Amino acid sequence: MFVLLTMSIAAWEGNVSIETPQTQIILHAKEGQDLRMAYYGLRTATLGELKASGCDFDFSVLPAFGTVDMVQLPAIQVQHSDGDLNLELQVVNYELQKEGKADVHLFTMQDKLMPVTVKTFYKAYREVDVIETWTEIVNGGKRAITLKRFDSGHLPLRQGDVWLTHLHGDWAAETNVVQEPLTLGCKVIRNTDGARNAHIDAPEVMFSLDGHPSENHGRTIGAALCWSGNYELRINTLLNKFHHFYAGIDPQSSEYVLDPKESFATPHLALTYSEQGMGGVSRNFHRWARTQGKLHRGNGVGDILLNSWEGLYFDINEERMLQMMDDIKQLGGELFVMDDGWFGDKYPRDIDNSSLGDWVVDTRKLPDGIPGLLRDAKKNGVKFGIWIEPEMANTVSELYEAHPDWIIKAPGREPVQGRGGTQVVLDLTNPKVQDFAFSIFDNLLSNYPEIAYIKWDANAPVMNHGSQYLPMDEQSHLYIKYHEALIQLCQRIRAKYPDVIIQDCASGGGRANYGLLPYFDEFWVSDNTDGLQRIYMQWGTSYFFPAIAMASHISAVPNHAVFRTTSLKYRCDVAMSGRLGMEIQPKNMTDDEKAFCRQVISDYKRVRPVIQFGDLYRLHSPYAGDNLASLMYVSKDKQQAVFFWWKLETLKNQHVPRIKMAGLDPDKYYTVRELNRIDNKPLPCEGKSYSGAFLMQTGLEMPYTHDVDYNKLNDWASRVLQLTAE
């Protein structure tokens, strides 16, 4: 709900301070001039002081092609109906609106010559230090205009040993942390997958302004583009004392025609600033996600689940489903999820080369259908979830036979086919396809309201560049309209089904982004469930996303992606640091392994509120190169904490650093209890109390190996400690 408070620009003397509890952006909004940014940092500055300090931080918020000099990149470019490519934006109005727990500052600008209006928004949260910015372009003329570039925002950064942190990966190797100093020239991070946008490069970055990125110190800015489609992040560095950061939808192949009276809104760019280094930025993002609706789950805890994929792959049948439900119940879990392989009538889904689109139960595998599965789940006292891939089809499917025109491909051309040699992407720009995708949910959830969880997958990029639905002169709208339609589909689903838990999966972590997470409860971090590689991947993911969003499952060894054999304890200790689940065939586990997992699950239930809702402190990076990673979660009231310590590699006589904890109350005394203990003797710290000050200044010594019988020795070592304040 908006409450409008219109302020005259004069009342503000042209200076607008956009404020969160700790931070502030100062804009200079003089009527008749372009909108300029003078400051982003802690809430201590005034424009007068900044000017008196000799600060020349004074840049157009939205540099427009035509008014910026040719070396500075534009953030916005429009081609007017007469072919003119210039924009000269002048502020004509400023409004302050209240929207829930945020202040929305709206600056309206107008081109000097042509009837094009550009509205720039800044949404400042009153309880978290995040400011979102976005832009709306309105064609006020009588003829169409073409949008050639439409960034969500631009941020100047004063030069001086500024470092960029970003994530880069691939399928089964998501979110590797990359850190590099910004140097002269233009650095571009972009995604052109079409359907998913987080596998290779991620649309979130951090800037460490005071030299090499530090976890706890230094001025640090975080930026997350809230968009699920193609994007482009640019950092342009000139000899003018500033780096210029731009973020927006990738304009490549996406020129957008705006008809008279139409408007185009960019996705939001979320910005946060902290003087507590990268850790401070992460905690700001996590809090914003959890408390401001940027992650759908809100305050409900994430259930402990067993997913059938790595345990069975396509080999689904009723007996095996029943067995897995029974197993997860016996282990103390709360939910069972049936993955791929349950559907298809004319074309049964036995491998990945057919049936997507034919969302009917394969009654050869599941004679009692979904009612039978729900009956079995009820009997076992677990919730039931199911896998779907609503935006996709196989060319071997009844759907494709009936609607070959529903897939994304250029009219007249043969489609390139993906996974299984037959997978194609449905054309969500087509309203009939939108209705179809909605009906997949609606049929499942209205017929079977007991379904508690949906795993929504997306296993193909856009491989065919064209739409059979859009007119030929709007082919370049495909990449944008697809994602606008995807969001509308999510909104339609959430309006009717607000409570079902939906996992955001796209061949693993291909869709971990804040464009989609407001509608999803969690995401699948990666198809790689190897304990060791997950430490690296979850580390990178944690820069921007809270633990509750990270589905993190215990799987079998040798691991199915990297064939490494880690110990069960190690896999459990890693999986416990996110939303714990299992991705395994319990039938193949020994009784001892089951007993261990039962204990892990029962302990996780006790500490899960701390992990899922607590503040994250990353203590020692796996990227430090000394074979150790450690992090901890601390509850808001600092009464509870959970500490994780994982050794990465074992070399004889190799020493790893002693870890100091963080985030605790220095004056409180914490009793330590080891979880998932396998050692014959407890640790020296077991049951003892230490002040928060001691734990943070000195820390506890962790033995490098486990004290176990000879036949149980292996090269994996890890610890999980629960800390409870007296």
Give the active site residues. Answer: 457, 527
Residue 191 near residue 213 (C-beta atoms within 8 A): no
Region of 106-114, 259-267, 376-384, 501-509 interacting with ligand GLA (CB under 6 A): 501-509
The span from the CA of 641 to the CA of 634, in Å, is 4
Residues facing residue 553 across a β-bridge: 581
Tokens of 494: 């959430």
Closer residue to ligand GLA in complex, CB, 120/308: 308
Tokens of 646: 């994982």
The span from the CA of 84 to the CA of 415, in Å, is 37
Q: Is 174 in the site for ligand GLA (CB under 6 A)?
A: no
Q: Is 504 in the site for ligand GLA (CB under 6 A)?
A: no
Minimum separation from the CB atom of position 341 to ligand GLA (A): 8
Residues facing residue 337 across a β-bridge: 307, 385
Tokens of 243: 């780096």
Minimum separation from the CB atom of position 320 to ligand GLA (A): 16
Locus of tokens 């909108």: 35
Closer residue to ligand GLA in complex, CB, 316/433: 316
Site for ligand GLA (CB under 6 A): which residue of 384, 406, 524, 690? 524
Q: Is 508 in the site for ligand GLA (CB under 6 A)?
A: yes
Closer residue to ligand GLA in complex, CB, 169/508: 508
Q: Is 646 in the site for ligand GLA (CB under 6 A)?
A: no
Minimum separation from the CB atom of position 560 to ligand GLA (A): 11
Q: Is 339 in the site for ligand GLA (CB under 6 A)?
A: yes
Integer-rounded Cα Rg, in Å, for the chain is: 26
Q: Could you tell me what percentage of the chain is helix, strand and coil, using 3-state DSSP and rounding each to the nearest 5?
A: 25, 35, 45
Minimum separation from the CB atom of position 86 to ligand GLA (A): 46
Residue 308 near residue 578 (C-beta atoms within 8 A): no
Minimum separation from the CB atom of position 399 to ligand GLA (A): 17
Region of 121-129, 249-257, 486-494, 504-512 interacting with ligand GLA (CB under 6 A): 504-512
Closer residue to ligand GLA in complex, CB, 194/280: 194
Q: Are strands 130-139 and 36-42 parallel, antiparallel or unpaired?
A: unpaired
Residue 17 near residue 24 (C-beta atoms within 8 A): yes
Q: Are strands 220-226 and 201-208 parallel, antiparallel or unpaired?
A: antiparallel
First to last CA, the chain: 44
Residue sitting closest to ligand GLA (CB): 340
Residue 339 near residue 307 (C-beta atoms within 8 A): yes
Burial (Cβ within 10 Å: 0-12, 13-18, ≥19) of residue 703? exposed
Tokens of 322: 């029943």
Closer residue to ligand GLA in complex, CB, 441/643: 441
Which residues from 360-389 bind ligand GLA, rule CB under 6 A? 387
CB-based contacts of 200-203 (< 8 A; 24+ apart in sequence): 200/168, 200/169, 200/170, 201/166, 201/167, 201/168, 202/166, 202/167, 202/168, 202/169, 202/175, 202/512, 202/513, 202/544, 203/227, 203/231, 203/233, 203/247, 203/513
Tokens of 88: 């000269």
Closer residue to ligand GLA in complex, CB, 63/578: 578
Q: Is 175 in the site for ligand GLA (CB under 6 A)?
A: no
Q: Is 309 in the site for ligand GLA (CB under 6 A)?
A: yes
DSSP labels, 177-222: EEEEE--SEEEEEEE--SS--SSSEEEEEEEETTSS--SSSB-EEE
Site for ligand GLA (CB under 6 A): which residue of 175, 228, 459, 676? 459
Closer residue to ligand GLA in complex, CB, 23/585: 585
Minimum separation from the CB atom of position 360 to ligand GLA (A): 17
Neighbours of 184 (CB within 10 A): 10
Region of 9-17, 503-511, 564-572, 613-621 interacting with ligand GLA (CB under 6 A): 503-511
Nearest to 389 by CA among 310, 456, 483: 456
Site for ligand GLA (CB under 6 A): which residue of 111, 129, 303, 527? 527
Q: Is 232 in the site for ligand GLA (CB under 6 A)?
A: no
State the binding string over 385-424 for ligand GLA (x if CB under 6 A, else -).
--x-------------------------------------
Region of 18-26, 100-108, 502-510, 515-523 interacting with ligand GLA (CB under 6 A): 502-510
Closer residue to ligand GLA in complex, CB, 352/362: 352
Closer residue to ligand GLA in complex, CB, 55/463: 463
Q: Is 457 in the site for ligand GLA (CB under 6 A)?
A: yes
Q: How many residues bind ligand GLA (CB under 6 A)?
A: 12
Minimum separation from the CB atom of position 340 to ligand GLA (A): 3
Q: Is 340 in the site for ligand GLA (CB under 6 A)?
A: yes
Tokens of 673: 């209890």
Minimum separation from the CB atom of position 185 to ligand GLA (A): 36
Amino acid found at 223: A
Region of 143-151, 211-219, 500-508, 670-678 interacting with ligand GLA (CB under 6 A): 500-508
Nearest to 629 by CA among 717, 724, 722, 509: 717
Closer residue to ligand GLA in complex, CB, 455/647: 455
Tokens of 721: 């400690």
Closer residue to ligand GLA in complex, CB, 326/339: 339
Q: Is 505 in the site for ligand GLA (CB under 6 A)?
A: yes
Closer residue to ligand GLA in complex, CB, 303/340: 340
Locus of tokens 């149980």: 712
Minimum separation from the CB atom of position 632 to ligand GLA (A): 29
Minimum separation from the CB atom of position 505 to ligand GLA (A): 5
Q: How far from 230 is each of 201, 224, 267, 451, 481, CA to CA, in Å?
A: 11, 14, 11, 32, 11
Site for ligand GLA (CB under 6 A): which residue of 60, 110, 355, 507? 507
Q: Is 250 in the site for ligand GLA (CB under 6 A)?
A: no
Instruction: Give the DSSP H or E segment for 318.
Output: helix 318-330
Minimum separation from the CB atom of position 507 to ligand GLA (A): 5
Q: Is 343 in the site for ligand GLA (CB under 6 A)?
A: no
Region of 200-208, 258-266, 505-513, 535-543 interacting with ligand GLA (CB under 6 A): 505-513
Q: How far from 645 is each of 21, 178, 420, 599, CA to CA, in Å?
A: 33, 22, 40, 19
DSSP labels, 348-365: --SSTTS-TT--SB-TTT
Minimum separation from the CB atom of position 459 to ligand GLA (A): 5
Residues that bind ligand GLA (CB under 6 A): 309, 339-340, 352, 387, 457, 459, 505, 507-508, 524, 527
